[in-house]
Amino acid sequence: LILFYKRKMALCGPKLSLCGVIISAWGIIQLSMMGIFFYINSVALIEDIKLAEEYEDLRKLKTDMDAGYQQNAYNCWIAALMYLVTLCVSAQQFWMNSRTSYSV
């Protein structure tokens, strides 16, 4: 039991951590850009915001759209930050994996 605690084992193997690094890097770039595009109310992303089926009042439509865009922008940025954390974790796992295999 003592030996188990002394040996620093990685949480995931080299392949999983490498996947994690790549997807996290991609996620950070893409999600932060998507966040920016949502923030400036880009028309291309209009189908991705939550809107009701029908609207009678134009002002309601505008407020809903603005709120939807904002919400999505914040979602994207939160996810981007979470991927930043994932990147650090994956990078550390990857570094630890490559180190242990080196010493053998």
Partner 1 sequence: MSLLGRSDFGHRRMEEEEYGTEYEGGEGGEQYTAMQSQGGGANFAPSQGGSLFRSEEMALCQLFLQSEAAYSCVSELGELGLVQFRDLNPETNAFQRKFVNEVRRCDEMERKLRFLEKEIKKDGIPMMESGEPPEAPQPREMIDLEATFEKLENELKEVNQNAEALKKNFLELTELKHILRKTQQFFDEQETLEQGGGVGQHQQLIQDEGGAGGGGLHLGFVAGVILRERLPAFEKMLWRACRGNVFLRVAEIEDPLEDPHAGDEVIKSVFVIFFQGEQLKSRVKKICEGFRATMYPCPDQATDRREMAVGVMQRLEDLNTVLGQTNDHRHRVLAAAAKNIKIWFVKVRKIKAIYHTLNFFNLDTSQKCLIAECWIPRLDLETIQLALRRGTESSGSTIAPILNEMQTTESPPTFFRTNKFTNAFQELINAYGVATYREMNPAVFTIITFPFLFAIMFGDLGHGAIAFLAAFWCIIKEKQLLTRKSDNEIWNYFFSGRYLIALMGIFSMYTGLIYNDIFSKSLNIFGSSWQVSIGPNQIIHHKSYMIDPSSNATDKGYYGTPYPFGIDPIWQIASNKIVFLNSFKMKISIILGVIHMLFGVTVSFLNSKYFGKTVNILCEFIPQVLFLSCMFGYMGLLMLHKWANYTAGGINGDPMTNEQCAPSVLITFINMVLFNDNDPPAVGCDPYMYAGQNGIQHLLVIVGLFCIPWMLFAKPFMLKKEAASKPNEFFDFSEVMMLQGIHTIEYALGTVSHTASYLRLWALSLAHAQLSEVLWSMVLRIGLSTNGWYGGVMLWATFAAWAGLTVSILCLMEGLSAFLHTLRLHWVEFQSKFYSGQGYLFTPFSFEKILEQAENSLE
Residues 64-103 interacting with partner 1 (rule: CB under 8 A): 71-72, 74-79, 81-83, 86
Q: Which is nearer to partner 1, 4 or 103 (CB)?
A: 103
Distance between CA atoms of 81 and 104, rounded to whole angstroms?
Answer: 35
Is-contact 24 79, C-beta < 8 A? no
Distance (Å, rounded) from C-alpha 33 to C-alpha 101? 37
Shortest spacing between CB 9 and partner 1, in angstroms? 23
Going by C-alpha positions, the residue among 31, 47, 40, 100 that lies closest to residue 70 is 40
Site for partner 1 in 14-53 (CB under 8 A): 23, 26-27, 30-31, 42-50
Q: By the criterion CB under 8 A, which residues form the site for partner 1?
A: 23, 26-27, 30-31, 42-50, 55-56, 58, 61, 71-72, 74-79, 81-83, 86
